Structure formats: structure tokens, C-alpha cells
């Protein structure tokens, strides 16, 4: 039982929570971090650590771009275990329609200062010899990179603790602001008193804040043995966004990442309304079949493990960053769907800006939790 | 076989063969599936004379033995998937016997990753499959009766076995010797084969040294260290059961092995388990457990009951075995901070030490995330740090991407 | 039935008894490093039963084959990565 009152108590030490903790501590706030199980053990551990700029909306672009810049500024300070690798992304086009999309993306990014390169069929094949013949081209984004997220989350927690943050590890939060106290009560009955509570519990955040419009979106991944240089960039099909934006029950999309170890991370899948974490053979099969369509030689590679994770998805695909509409002492930093790793750093900045009432580098309105109230949001 | 067979046995070692034989004898349609190129498991690799009667029994009944097939996943309850060189096979069954055997326990010590440092069973397997060992100097070390069997085998093939270092104390071993009364003829034979080979108790390898490969070992005994030059180190610390497939299927697994009832039935209704998988206990126990499982799967419970006394007797031996070769605490302190514990990912002792759970250690260091899927380091981290193994995710063994797609 | 098979290990011809495993063939050529670990250590077979994956080599162009579980065949091409 702690008698101290912290400025902020942060629930969940995934990549978002831990980045927020580090930023709050850096700001001089006294921070308590409560993590029920393992640092970076939720979606942070399950997903791909792809740091990428997205163009599906201005708000998504602003957030990913700002956050990517923060990652780049930090890259030298990241420990070796974070495995930061500036390998870049290639968005792969299979036909002329997708190639038109490539040109649209290039224009969008160019107008906003993001350097990209249009690849025709030949230069795509040279860049990635293991892609199947017959693809028409792609868009290379050299500023994108990959990391190993659990170690990044640990790094941020360490940064926070160096600045005085206290870590409460292994006991889940039972209730936020119980019995008119400000803070949290843990499942062992102890309480942590804080001026503000930040719910950054990812796909578990709705269990702590009633009515939160965050739904679990299950994903699968498969990892292979080491095949250095089998692919050199993160490779994503242009249909990926269709899958990510679709509200249908389930979808797969080609998404392959080379790890610095030479292992390949193969994704991706999305399912709504599935609560159990067991590996679904039929989804894995579909996902791998899709991947083999793009990388025919992938079939012969040795796979070591398949697993699942739960993204935290909101109805408008944008995260919730800021004060709860009805409880001014409760802040939210959740709902990042598949972009939590990328946008963790910008989320932390926007959160702290709002706590200290400072204007942010990018407009915060699109991410405010208040937008969800009274049907203000179009799905 | 398109339809579901009556009984599928996973593992063609002694327990699996005993189960298959009894079930087939009683009219069941039986298949045995095994990863190795030939039947026999580990102890009967190469089909030694004592296994002959069992191999003949299997040939004498209608059992389909499928070699070179790696069971990696459950497609749905009642159907397993196995990878072969020519693709994936679906194996459907009404009942299942898991006889997946055991593997050696490896403990890290400085130099243990040098080429020519192998398991005790490991070096024996290599010699059985063609490695010339004549004239080579071998130190056999670790713990368990396997060390004696391996030393005798290697010697019989011309190796110069320099010594056997057993970590158990002479008192523990004396108690074991008394309990061996029923197996005295085997013990006597081993003693004869090993005449002249020093058998040192309370003794272990504290370091293996060499530049690109093993050149010698440092042995520790009673506060004194001494060096021995050698070509091979055969080092294993007794056995641990292979419970991964059982876990993947959802059977209850206890620290010692898969949990079974008196008829060798697991907590899943139509799944049995027999042999080392249910707890380390040696060859005779594996055989009788296998027979009981096969008879029970065939509905012959009375015949199975007739074997209960023999099993009880063998279990007593198994208990003595496992008590005798319990590992001493000093073995927890062999590693230096730089000693590699996870060989797949080269994770050192000092990096692991900081963590309080297997899961945290895995996520932060990638220990256990390599191709061995934690089979080599798992037993070590359990012994060193008290971390117990996690749930198992598919595939149970690394397989080609094509196999996950079921092509 | 043939009593021996001949395979090629790192360009060297090796004769082995029929039914031998590739791991034994590699060791017979005096090669003890089958592969390099992630930090560059030389590694060879450990468990002999197909679970440690330290004996992985490239066989007939396919990477990461467990040599202790692969039976030698005539004309097989084996390359270590030590």
C-alpha cells in the first residue's frame, strides 16, 4: 500500500504505456506504472515492430509521421536488443489498378515531405529477387524501419525509472478511481493514489473504463528460421489497407518482415469478435497461402512458431489520446490497432502536452476521446 | 489410409511398439508414426539384439509403421498432421497413444558449446549412425544410468573411455546398487564391460576447453580440479520427458510427465500415454506401460489389470532411479556470466539472471525462441532459475511453410 | 542391397555404410563445425536425436536440414556453414 500520491499512474506497460511513462517522467511528473503481467507482453510482444508512415487519412499520416521522426531522433540511443533496422518498406502492386494507387501514394507523401521511390517491375525484382515474376511494381519508402518491440518497451520503462518512476509489476488493476479516490485499486486490495490515471491497457482497456469503444482484433503471425537476405525490406501488399479498414469478420493480407536475425515474420490476419487466443489453422493457412503467392520460395522455408495477439481497435481507426469525455482525471492512450509501435512515441508526446496544457506539434482533435461521444464519429 | 484407424501410436520406441503390438493382437487397426528413419526410438536405435523379439512381434501383427514423419499439429480433435519429405499426411484415429519418449537434460557450463561436446545419448546415437569412434578418447559425464550404458557401448566399439564422472554421491549410488537387485544380471554385465574405466562419484565437468573444438575438460571432485585431454565429451544429466505434443493436444502434464490413470489414459478421453513420456523409469517400465495402454485402447481392461503388479514393481525401480540421480546444487553454479544458456539465440547466463519469469526472459532475450523451441534450454532454466515451461504453440516441431499450409 | 553409399561433403567424397546419417559423414571428414551460431561460435551436433538443431547443414540445396536425422544417399550434396 502506497501512501504517496503520484502525479500520474499509468496502467499497462506495453509500448504505448511505457512510452507515456517515460515522457511523463521526462516532463518531471511523478509516475507510477502498473503492469499486470510482463512489460511489453501483450500486443507489443505479439505484433510486428514495423515503424511506418500511413496515408489512409490526414490524421493517421500526421500521427505516424510525427512519431516516426521521434523514433529516428532516438535511434542512436536505442539499445542493441531493440534491433532497430532502417530496412524500409516496399508496398507491392500486382496490377495496374494497384500501380495507380502507388502513384497516388507517392504524390501524397511527396507533398508532405516523405521521400519515396516508385519501382517498376524490373527495379522491384532487383530490389526483392524472391518476389514472384509478373508483379507490376511498387512504392519503396526508405524512411520506414523495424524494431523488436518488447525490448523497446523495457527500454522506455527503464528510462522512466531512471527519472524516478515506480514500477508495480505483477498485480492487475481492479478498478480505476474506486470509492471517490483518485487513482487505482489493485486486485490485492492495495491502492495507488494519483492526480491522473492513464488507461493504456490496450485490448484490456475497456474492462477498466466502461463504455470505451475499443474492440479486440485478433491477429496471427508466423516466424521462420534464419534466411538472411531472403527479403530486404518489409513487404506489404497494397490490399493491406483494405484488410485493416474492413469491418468484416476476418481478412488476411500479405505482410512480411525481415528481422536482423535473418528470420522472417509473416503476417497478417484480422478477426473481430474472437476472444480466444488459440492459433486458428484455417486462418494461418490462408495467411501463408497469400504470402506464398507473393514469395513462392517461402513455402520451402522452415517455420518455428505461430502465435496470436489482440490489437485494440476503434471504430474510426484512430487511437484515443487525451482526457475521457466525462472524467477529467482519467486519460486514455489506447485503441492503436496495428500502429501502436509506430505511434507510441507521438502518443506519449500528445498525452503529456494535454496533461500540462501545452499545444502539440500536430493537431490533437482527431484523437480526442471526446469525439466518440454522441455519435460524433462515422465508422 | 483414408478412414480413421482404430489406434494411432506416436513414437516407435519400446512403449509405442508394445502398445501397437497389444492393440493389433486384439484386432485393432494400428498405425505407428515416428520422426526417425527407423523404429526403435533412442534406446533401440539400430535394432540391438535385445530388441529383436519386439521387432518380430511388430512384424507378426498388422501394424502400419510410418517412419520419417514428424507430427507437428492437430488439425481437429481426432486428426494429427505429420510432415514427411513428400508432403503432409493427415492421420485420423479413434484412439491415440503418445509414446514420445524422453530427451537428455543439458546443463550449461563453460565450453559446453564447443564442437565434440555432445550428450551421452547424443554421442552414442552418432556412433550408432556411422561415426567412427575407434581409438578416440572419450570422457563420459553428467548423471544417470545412461552414462554406464553409453560408456559400455562406446568401449565396445573401440573408444578409449577415459572415465565416467557421475555427479551423484557415492551414498546415493550405493542405495541404488542395493535396489538394483532385480536387475543384477544387467548390472553385472555392465560392470564387466566397464572393467578398468574409473567411475567417479560426486564428480562433474566444470569446464570444457579448446579453440575451434574440444581438446580437454576440467573435472571437479571434492574441491579438487584436474584436467583431462580428450576428443569427445559425452555429457548428459539424466532424462526429461518429451511432453510437447501432449501439451499441444491439451493433456494435463505434471512436472514429472504426462498425467495418466491406471489404464495409462490421459485427461483427454481417447488419448493414452506410455513410457518415458509419463515419467522417466527405464525400459521395462516403458514396455509394460505400453502394453497396458494398448490393451486398454483395445478394451481389454482385465488383461491390462494383469500387468499392474509388474508395472508397480517397475515404478518402484523408477522412483529409486530418479531419487538416486537427483541433481546436486553445485551444478547450478557452473556457469559464468558469459556462459551461453540458450544455444539457438546465444543468450548468456548474465542476461537471463535479471528476469523473474520464463516469459519475461523469452520476450527480452529471445531465449527459447529458436528452432529447438526451448527443448535444450528449457530444462536448464528450470533447474537454474526455477522457471517452469509455458504452453506449447504449433508447430510442435519446425516444419516447412508448405506443411503449415498442408500442401 | 548396397553396403556403402558415397556422398559429397563440402566438395569431398565420403563413403559411408548404408543407413548412416549425414552427421556421421560430416564428422568422418574431420569437419567438426557444422554451422556458426548467431554470435559466430562454431557448433556441431549435441543431442543426436533431432531436437537441438545444432547439426543443421544444407543438403541438396535445402537449408537448415538436421543432418543427424537424414540418411546418407548416393550423390547427396552436403554443405556445412562452419
* A295-321 mean pLDDT: 97
Is the pLDDT at A376 greater than 50, yes or no? Answer: no
Is the pLDDT at B107 greater than 80, yes or no? Answer: yes
pLDDT at site A374: 53
Chain-chain contact of B121 with C47 (C-beta, under 8 angstroms):
yes
Which residues, 6+ apart, have CB-to-CB distance to B184 below 8 Å? none
Q: For residues B312 and B315, what is the distance between their CA atoms, to the nearest angstrom?
A: 5
pLDDT at site A378: 43
CB A102 within 8 A of CB A93: yes
CB < 8 Å from B in window 19-58 of C: 19-21, 23-25, 27-28, 32-34, 37-39, 41-54, 56
Task: Read off the C-alpha cell for A60.
Answer: 493517421
DSSP, collapsed to helix, strand or coil, labels residue B139 as strand
**Could you give the count of Cα atoms lying within 13 Å of A96 in the half-sphere of its Cβ?**
0
DSSP, collapsed to helix, strand or coil, labels residue B406 as coil
Strands B117-118 and B239-241: unpaired
Instruction: Report pLDDT digits (tens) over B352-389.
Output: 999 989 999 999 999 999 999 999 999 999 999 999 88
pLDDT at site B177: 81
Q: Collect all residues of chain B within an 8 Å Cβ-Cβ radius of residue C25.
A: 130
Gap from A234 CA to chain B (nearest CA, Å): 19
Is the pLDDT at A62 greater than 60, yes or no? Answer: yes
What is the pLDDT of chain B when averaged over all its residues?
95
Chain-chain contact of C62 with A225 (C-beta, under 8 angstroms):
no
- In this complex, which of B359, B402, B405 lies closest to A38 when CB atoms are compared? B359
Q: For residues B271 and B98, what is the distance between their CA atoms, to the nearest angstrom?
A: 7
pLDDT at site B292: 98
Q: For residues B239 and B208, what is the distance between their CA atoms, to the nearest angstrom?
A: 21
pLDDT band with cut points at 50, 70 and 90 for residue A243:
confident
Is the pLDDT at B317 greater than 60, yes or no? Answer: yes
* B51-79 mean pLDDT: 94
Task: Count other Cβ atoms within 10 Å, centred on residue A177.
Answer: 16
A354: left (phi over 0), alpha (psi -120 to 50) or beta: alpha
Q: For residues B34 and B99, what is the distance between their CA atoms, to the nearest angstrom?
A: 10
Is the pLDDT at B36 greater than 80, yes or no? Answer: yes
pLDDT band with cut points at 50, 70 and 90 for residue B1:
very low
Is the pLDDT at A1 greater than 60, yes or no? Answer: no
- In this complex, which of B116, B131, B371 lies closest to C28 when CB atoms are compared? B131
- DSSP one-letter code for B265: B
Percentage of chain B surpassing pLDDT 90?
A: 88
* A42-58 mean pLDDT: 96
Does the predicted interface ipTM exceed a cut of 0.90? Answer: yes
pLDDT band with cut points at 50, 70 and 90 for residue B180:
confident
- DSSP one-letter code for A147: -
Q: For residues A192 and A5, what is the distance between their CA atoms, to the nearest angstrom?
A: 7
Which residues, 6+ apart, have CB-to-CB distance to B306 below 8 Å? none
pLDDT band with cut points at 50, 70 and 90 for residue C2:
low
pLDDT at site A12: 98
Which residues, 6+ apart, have CB-to-CB distance to B349 below 8 Å? B108, B335, B336, B337, B338, B339, B340, B341, B384
pLDDT band with cut points at 50, 70 and 90 for residue C82:
confident
pLDDT at site B188: 82
pLDDT band with cut points at 50, 70 and 90 for residue A40:
very high
In our burial notation (b when 16+ CB lie closer than 10 A, e otherwise), range A15-30 reads bbbbbbbbbbbbbebb
Residue B379, preceding peptide bond in cis (omega within 30° of 0) = no
Length of chain C: 82
Which residues, 6+ apart, have CB-to-CB distance to C50 below 8 Å? B35, B36, C66, C68, C69
Instruction: Report pLDDT digits (tens) over A146-190.
Output: 999 999 999 999 999 999 999 999 999 999 988 788 999 999 999
pLDDT band with cut points at 50, 70 and 90 for residue A214:
very high
DSSP, collapsed to helix, strand or coil, labels residue B152 as helix
Is the pLDDT at C81 greater than 50, yes or no? Answer: yes
Nearest CA in chain C to A300: C62
pLDDT at site B277: 98
Q: Collect all residues of chain C within an 8 Å Cβ-Cβ radius of residue B346.
A: 37-39, 41
Q: For residues C10 and C20, what is the distance between their CA atoms, to the nearest angstrom?
A: 18
Is the pLDDT at C35 greater than 60, yes or no? Answer: yes
* B25-32 mean pLDDT: 97
Is the pLDDT at A377 greater than 50, yes or no? Answer: no
Is the pLDDT at A59 greater than 90, yes or no? Answer: yes
pLDDT band with cut points at 50, 70 and 90 for residue A368:
very high
Chain-chain contact of C41 with B340 (C-beta, under 8 angstroms):
yes
Provide DSSP, A57-83: SHHHHHHHHHHHHHHHHHGGGS-GGG-
pLDDT at site B2: 56
Q: Collect all residues of chain C within an 8 Å Cβ-Cβ radius of residue B343.
A: 37, 43, 46, 52, 54
Amino acid at each position: 500500500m502506497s501512501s504517496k500520491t503520484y502525479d500520474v499512474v499509468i496502467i499497462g506497460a506495453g509500448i504505448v504505456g511505457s512510452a507515456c511513462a517515460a515522457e511523463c517522467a521526462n516532463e518531471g511528473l511523478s509516475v507510477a506504472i502498473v503492469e499486470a503481467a510482463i512489460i511489453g507482453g501483450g500486443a507489443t510482444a505479439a505484433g510486428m515492430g514495423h515503424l511506418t508512415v500511413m496515408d489512409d487519412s490526414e490524421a493517421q499520416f500526421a500521427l505516424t509521421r510525427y512519431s516516426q521522426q521521434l523514433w529516428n531522433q532516438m535511434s542512436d540511443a536505442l539499445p542493441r536488443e531493440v534491433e532497430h533496422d532502417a530496412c524500409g518498406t516496399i508496398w507491392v502492386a500486382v496490377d495496374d489498378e494497384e500501380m495507380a494507387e502507388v502513384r497516388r501514394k507517392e504524390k501524397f507523401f511527396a507533398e508532405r515531405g516523405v521521400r519515396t521511390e516508385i519501382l517498376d517491375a524490373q527495379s522491384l525484382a532487383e530490389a526483392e529477387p524472391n518476389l514472384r515474376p509478373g508483379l507490376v511494381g511498387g512504392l519503396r519508402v526508405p524512411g520506414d524501419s523495424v524494431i523488436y518491440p518488447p525490448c523497446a518497451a523495457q527500454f522506455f520503462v527503464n528510462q522512466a525509472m531512471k527519472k524516478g518512476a515506480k514500477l508495480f509489476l505483477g498485480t492487475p488493476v481492479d478498478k480505476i478511481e474506486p470509492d471517490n479516490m483518485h487513482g487505482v485499486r489493485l486486485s490485492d486490495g492495495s491502492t495507488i493514489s494519483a492526480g491522473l490515471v492513464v488507461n493504456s491497457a490496450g485490448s484490456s482497456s475497456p474492462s477498466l473504463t466502461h463504455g470505451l469503444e475499443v474492440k479486440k482484433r485478433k491477429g496471427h503471425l508466423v516466424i521462420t528460421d534464419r534466411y538472411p537476405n531472403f527479403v530486404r525490406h518489409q513487404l506489404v501488399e497494397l490490399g493491406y489497407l483494405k484488410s485493416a479498414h474492413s469491418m468484416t469478420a476476418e481478412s488476411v493480407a500479405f505482410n512480411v518482415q525481415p528481422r536482423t536475425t535473418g528470420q522472417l515474420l509473416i503476417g497478417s490476419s484480422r478477426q473481430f469478435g474472437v476472444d480466444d487466443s488459440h492459433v486458428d489453422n484455417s486462418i494461418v493457412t490462408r495467411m501463408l497461402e497469400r504470402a506464398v503467392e507473393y514469395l513462392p520460395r517461402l513455402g520451402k522455408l522452415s517455420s518455428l512458431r505461430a502465435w496470436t495477439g489482440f490489437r485494440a481497435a476503434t471504430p474510426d481507426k484512430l487511437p484515443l489520446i487525451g482526457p475521457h469525455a466525462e472524467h477529467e482525471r482519467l486519460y486514455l492512450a489506447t485503441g492503436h490497432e496495428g500502429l501502436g509501435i509506430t505511434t507510441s512515441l507521438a502518443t506519449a508526446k500528445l498525452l503529456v502536452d494535454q496533461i500540462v496544457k501545452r499545444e502539440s506539434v500536430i493537431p490533437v482533435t482527431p484523437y480526442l476521446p471526446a469525439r466518440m461521444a454522441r455519435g460524433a464519429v462515422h465508422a | 489410409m483414408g478412414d480413421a484407424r482404430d489406434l494411432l501410436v506416436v513414437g516407435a520406441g519400446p512403449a509405442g511398439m508394445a502398445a501397437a503390438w497389444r492393440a493389433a493382437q486384439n484386432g485393432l487397426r494400428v498405425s505407428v508414426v515416428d520422426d526417425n528413419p527407423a523404429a526403435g526410438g533412442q534406446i533401440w536405435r539400430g535394432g540391438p539384439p535385445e530388441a529383436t523379439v519386439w521387432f518380430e512381434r511388430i512384424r507378426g501383427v498388422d501394424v502400419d509403421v510410418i517412419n520419417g514423419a514428424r507430427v507437428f499439429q492437430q488439425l481437429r480433435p481426432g486428426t494429427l498432421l505429420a510432415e514427411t519429405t513428400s508432403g503432409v499426411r493427415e492421420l485420423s484415429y479413434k484412439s491415440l497413444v503418445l509414446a514420445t519418449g524422453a530427451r537428455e537434460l543439458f546443463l550449461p557450463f563453460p565450453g559446453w558449446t564447443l564442437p565434440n561436446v555432445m550428450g551421452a545419448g547424443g554421442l552414442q546415437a552418432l556412433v550408432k549412425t556411422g561415426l567412427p569412434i575407434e581409438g578416440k578418447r572419450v570422457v563420459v559425464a553428467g548423471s544417470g544410468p545412461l552414462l554406464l550404458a553409453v560408456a559400455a557401448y562406446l568401449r565396445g566399439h573401440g573408444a578409449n573411455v577415459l572415465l565416467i564422472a557421475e555427479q551423484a554421491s557415492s551414498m546415493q549410488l550405493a542405495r541404488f546398487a542395493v535396489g538394483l537387485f532385480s536387475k543384477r544380471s544387467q548390472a553385472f554385465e555392465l560392470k564387466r564391460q566397464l572393467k578398468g574405466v574409473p567411475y567417479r562419484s560426486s564428480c562433474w565437468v566444470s569446464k570444457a576447453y579448446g579453440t575451434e573444438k574440444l581438446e580437454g575438460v576440467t573435472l571437479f571432485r571434492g574441491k579438487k580440479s584436474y584436467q583431462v585431454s580428450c576428443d569427445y565429451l559425452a555429457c548428459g544429466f539424466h532424462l526429461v520427458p518429451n511432453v510437447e505434443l501432449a501439451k499441444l493436444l491439451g493433456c494435463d502434464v505434471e512436472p514429472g510427465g504426462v498425467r495418466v490413470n491406471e489404464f495409462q489414459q490421459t485427461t483427454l478421453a481417447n488419448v493414452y500415454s506410455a513410457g518415458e513420456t509419463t515419467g522417466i523409469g527405464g525400459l521395462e517400465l516403458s514396455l509394460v506401460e505400453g502394453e497396458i495402454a494398448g490393451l486398454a485402447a483395445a478394451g481389454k481392461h482385465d488383461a491390462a489389470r494383469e500387468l499392474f503388479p509388474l508395472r508397480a514393481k517397475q515404478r518402484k525401480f523408477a522412483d529409486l532411479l530418479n531419487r538416486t540421480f537427483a541433481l546436486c546444487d553445485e551444478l547450478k553454479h557452473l556457469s559464468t556470466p558469459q556462459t551461453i544458456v540458450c544455444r539457438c539465440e546465444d543468450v548468456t547466463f548474465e542476461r537471463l539472471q535479471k528476469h523473474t519469469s520464463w516469459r519475461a526472459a523469452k520476450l527480452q532475450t529471445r531465449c527459447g525462441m529458436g528452432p529447438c523451441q526451448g527443448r535444450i534450454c528449457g530444462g536448464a532454466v528450470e533447474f537454474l532459475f526455477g522457471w517452469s515451461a509455458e504452453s506449447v504453440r504449433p508447430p510442435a516441431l519446425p516444419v516447412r511453410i508448405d506443411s503449415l499450409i498442408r500442401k | 542391397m548396397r553396403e556403402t553409399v558415397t556422398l559429397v561433403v563440402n566438395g569431398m567424397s565420403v563413403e559411408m555404410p548404408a543407413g548412416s546419417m549425414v552427421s556421421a559423414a560430416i564428422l568422418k571428414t574431420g569437419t567438426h563445425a557444422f554451422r556458426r551460431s548467431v554470435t559466430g561460435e562454431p557448433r556441431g551436433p549435441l543431442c543426436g536425436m533431432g531436437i537441438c538443431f545444432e547439426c543443421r547443414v544444407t543438403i541438396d540445396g535445402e537449408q537448415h536440414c538436421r543432418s543427424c536425422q537424414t540418411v546418407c544417399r548416393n550423390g547427396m550434396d552436403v554443405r556445412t556453414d562452419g
